[in-house]
C-alpha cells in the first residue's frame, strides 16, 4: 500500500540515510534498491567512529524526521528504501525461513507475540524475496544499518567495562579466593557484554518454523496455541553486528519477557545472564578475555 506524504515525512532519519544521500548517484545504471545496497555496504565497512560522524550530523542538521529534509532528499529516500525498513518498531522480528508449511507456523508464532508481547505489524519483517537469509540473518544490517547505531562514547565505555572486569578477575585470582572455573564468563563479564550490546533481534528461522520436529503430533490443529512451544532465536548484538549473547526460548515466554529483553536495565536478570555467549565474545573469541590479553601482550612486546 502506498504511503501518504504525511506518513513519509514522519519517518526517522538516521546516519546511514545521510550517508546514502551523500553518495547517491541519480545517473547510476543500477536499480534504486541495488544502489542502496551497495552504498550501505560501503557505510558498514567504515570504522565505527566514521559511521558515528553521520549519526552526529543528524543532530547537527536537526533532521530527526524526513520532513526536515529537502524535498529532493525525501524523494531519494522514498525511492531507495522501503517504508517498513525505515519505520521499524521497538521490536524487530525477522523471518529468515520460508520453506513449505512454514507460513502457518509463522502466522501462529507472530499471533502469540502480538498477544503476549504487544508486537505490532511494523515490528515484523517477512518477505521471501528480501529476507530469505537462512542462518545468515546478519545480512539484514545491509538493509537497515540503523540497527547498529550507538552512542558517541560506545567504544570508550566498552573498553572501560572490559578493563574493569579484567582488573577484578586479576585481583580475585591473586587473592586465591576462586578460580575462573568457579564463575561463568557471563557472570564475570556481564557489564562488558551489556555495554557492548546495541540492540536485540528476534529470529524466526528454520528451527522455529521448520517441519522437522518431534512434537508435530501436538501441533496438528494449527492453532496459535499449538505452536506456542516453538522457540525463537533471540540475539543481543554489538555495533558491528556480532553476537554478544543469544538464547532460544518458546514464543510465549519470549513475548512475555520482551519488555525486559529490550531494556538496558537487565544487569542480573536471568533472561540475559542465562543466555549463551556469542562466539566472538567467548573466552578465546576475538572480543573475549584470552584474545584481548594476547593483544595487550603483543602490543607490550612491540613497544621499544
Distance CA 251, CA 59 (A): 38
Judged by average pLDDT, the poorest of 21-30, 73-82, 84-93, 103-112 is 84-93
Residue 175, pLDDT above cutoff 50: no
Summarize pLDDT for 20-54 with one digit per residue, the tens.
999 999 999 999 999 999 999 999 999 999 999 99
* Res 299 pLDDT > 90: no
Select the more confidently predicted residue: 119 or 178.
119
Q: Give alpha helix (H) positions in 95-242.
A: 102-117, 128-131, 154-175, 185-188, 190-196, 206-209
Percentage of the chain modeled with pLDDT above 70 = 81
The pLDDT of residue 218 is 53
pLDDT of residue 176: 47
Q: What angle do CA 59, 191, 196 make, to 5 degrees?
A: 45
183-198 mean pLDDT:
84
135 pLDDT higher than 80: yes
35-44 burial code (b ≥16 CB/10 A, e <16):
bbbebbeebb
Q: Residue ranges of the domains in the chain?
A: 10-86, 93-154+159-295
3-state per-residue secondary structure call for 144-179: CHHHHCCCCCHHHHHHHHHHHHHHHHHHHHHHCCCC
Indicate the pLDDT class of residue 291, thresholds 50, 70 and 90: low
Which segments of the chain does DSSP mark as H helices, in order? 5-9, 15-23, 32-45, 48-61, 71-80, 83-86, 102-117, 128-131, 154-175, 185-188, 190-196, 206-209, 251-256, 258-261, 270-273, 289-302
Mean pLDDT of 127-136: 97
Q: Higher confidence at residue 213 or residue 257?
A: 257
Average pLDDT, integer, range 2-28: 92
Choice among 9-18, 100-109, 171-180 with the minimum mean pLDDT:
171-180
Model pLDDT, residue 138: 98
Whether residue 264 has pLDDT greater than 80: no
At 178 the pLDDT is 45
Q: What pLDDT, on the 0 to 100 scale, is given for residue 219?
A: 54
How sure is the predictor about 117, in pLDDT bands with cuts at 50, 70 and 90? confident
The reported pLDDT for the residue numbered 177 is 47
- Average pLDDT for the chain: 86
Q: Supply the pLDDT for residue 256.
A: 85
Confidence of residue 158 (pLDDT cuts 50, 70, 90): very high
Contact 65, 9 (CB under 8 A): yes
The pLDDT value recorded for residue 229 is 85
Highest mean pLDDT among 90-99, 137-146, 227-236: 137-146
Amino acid at each position: 500500500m502506498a504511503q501518504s506524504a504525511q506518513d513519509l515525512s514522519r519517518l526517522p532519519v538516521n546516519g546511514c540515510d545521510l550517508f546514502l544521500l551523500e553518495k547517491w548517484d541519480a545517473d547510476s545504471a543500477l536499480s534504486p534498491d541495488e544502489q542502496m545496497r551497495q552504498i550501505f555496504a560501503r557505510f558498514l565497512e567504515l570504522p565505527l567512529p566514521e559511521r558515528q560522524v553521520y549519526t552526529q550530523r543528524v543532530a547537527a542538521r536537526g533532521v530527526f524526521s524526513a520532513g526536515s529534509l529537502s524535498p529532493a532528499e525525501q524523494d531519494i529516500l522514498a525511492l531507495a528504501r522501503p517504508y517498513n525498513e525505515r519505520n521499524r518498531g521497538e521490536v524487530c522480528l525477522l523471518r529468515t525461513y520460508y520453506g513449505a508449511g512454514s507460513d502457518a507456523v509463522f502466522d501462529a508464532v507472530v499471533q502469540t507475540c502480538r498477544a503476549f508481547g504487544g508486537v505490532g505489524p511494523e515490528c515484523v519483517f517477512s518477505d521471501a524475496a528480501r529476507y530469505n537469509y537462512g542462518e545468515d540473518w546478519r545480512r539484514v544490517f545491509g538493509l537497515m544499518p540503523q540497527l547498529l547505531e550507538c552512542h558517541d562514547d560506545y567504544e570508550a565505555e566498552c573498553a572501560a567495562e572490559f578493563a574493569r572486569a579484567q582488573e577484578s578477575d586479576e585481583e580475585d585470582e591473586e587473592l586465591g579466593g576462586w578460580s575462573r572455573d568457579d564463575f561463568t564468563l557471563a557472570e564475570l563479564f556481564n557489564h562488558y557484554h551489556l555495554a557492548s550490546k546495541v540492540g536485540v533481534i528476534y529470529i524466526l528461522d528454520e528451527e522455529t518454523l521448520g517441519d522437522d520436529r518431534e512434537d508435530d503430533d501436538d501441533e496438528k490443529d494449527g492453532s496459535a496455541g499449538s505452536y506456542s512451544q516453538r522457540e525463537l532465536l533471540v540475539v543481543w548484538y554489538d555495533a558491528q553486528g556480532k553476537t554478544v549473547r543469544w538464547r532460544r526460548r518458546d514464543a510465549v515466554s519470549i513475548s512475555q519477557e520482551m519488555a525486559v529483553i529490550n531494556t538496558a536495565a537487565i544487569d542480573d536478570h536471568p533472561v540475559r545472564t542465562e543466555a549463551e555467549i556469542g562466539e566472538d565474545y567467548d573466552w578465546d573469541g576475538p572480543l573475549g578475555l584470552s584474545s584481548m590479553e594476547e593483544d595487550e601482550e603483543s602490543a607490550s612486546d612491540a613497544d621499544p
